Amino acid sequence: MEISLEDVHQALVELGRLRFGQMRVEDAIREIVETTHSMFAVDGAGLMLADGAQHLRSVAASDDRFAHLEDLQIRHQEGPCIEAFDTKELVGATDLEQESRWPLFSSAAVQREVRAVLATPLPYNQDAVGVVAVLSERSRPWSPANELALLAFTDLAALLIASIIQGEEQSELATQLQGALDSRQVIEQAKGVLIGTQGISPRTAYEELRSRARAERRKLPVVCAEVVQGAVRQA
Task: Among 166, 190, 224, identify where a domain stops.
Answer: 166
Looking up residue 18, the CATH number of its domain turns out to be 3.30.450.40
Give the number of other CB atoms < 10 A from CB of residue 121: 24
Give the number of other CB atoms < 10 A from CB of residue 116: 24
User: Are 74 and 53 within one domain?
Assistant: yes
User: Are 109 and 215 within one domain?
Assistant: no
Please state, rounded to an integer, the average pLDDT across all residues of the chain: 88
| Dihedral sign (CA 195, 197, 200, 206) | negative
What pLDDT score was predicted for residue 20? 61
Exposed (0-12), middle (13-18) or buried (19+): which is 100, by Cβ within 10 Å?
Answer: exposed
User: Are 128 and 191 within one domain?
Assistant: no
User: Are 73 and 87 within one domain?
Assistant: yes
Give the Å distances, CA to CA, from 30 to 27, 46, 47, 52, 101: 5, 8, 8, 22, 30
**Which pLDDT tens digit goes with each residue over 146-191?**
898 899 889 888 888 887 777 756 677 878 888 888 898 899 999 9
Task: Among 166, 194, 218, identify where a domain stops.
Answer: 166
What integer is the mean pLDDT of 41-45? Answer: 91
User: Are 58 and 117 within one domain?
Assistant: yes
**Which pLDDT tens digit goes with each residue over 75-127?**
888 999 999 998 899 999 999 999 999 999 999 999 999 999 999 999 988 88
DSSP output for 75-135:
HHT-SHHHHHHHHTS-EEES-GGG--SSHHHHHHHHHTT--EEEEEEEEETTEEEEEEEEE
User: Are 107 and 140 within one domain?
Assistant: yes
Looking up residue 191, the CATH number of its domain turns out to be 1.10.10.10
Which residue, among 190, 196, 185, has the nearest Cα to 228 in the 3D structure? 190
Which residue, among 74, 18, 65, 72, has the nearest Cα to 46 in the 3D structure? 65
User: Are 13 and 113 within one domain?
Assistant: yes
| CA–CA gap between residue 166 and residue 192 (Å, rounded) | 27
Task: Among 166, 199, 223, identify where a domain stops.
Answer: 166
User: Are 38 and 99 within one domain?
Assistant: yes
Host domain of residue 185: 172-234
User: Are 42 and 143 within one domain?
Assistant: yes
Domain count, the chain: 2
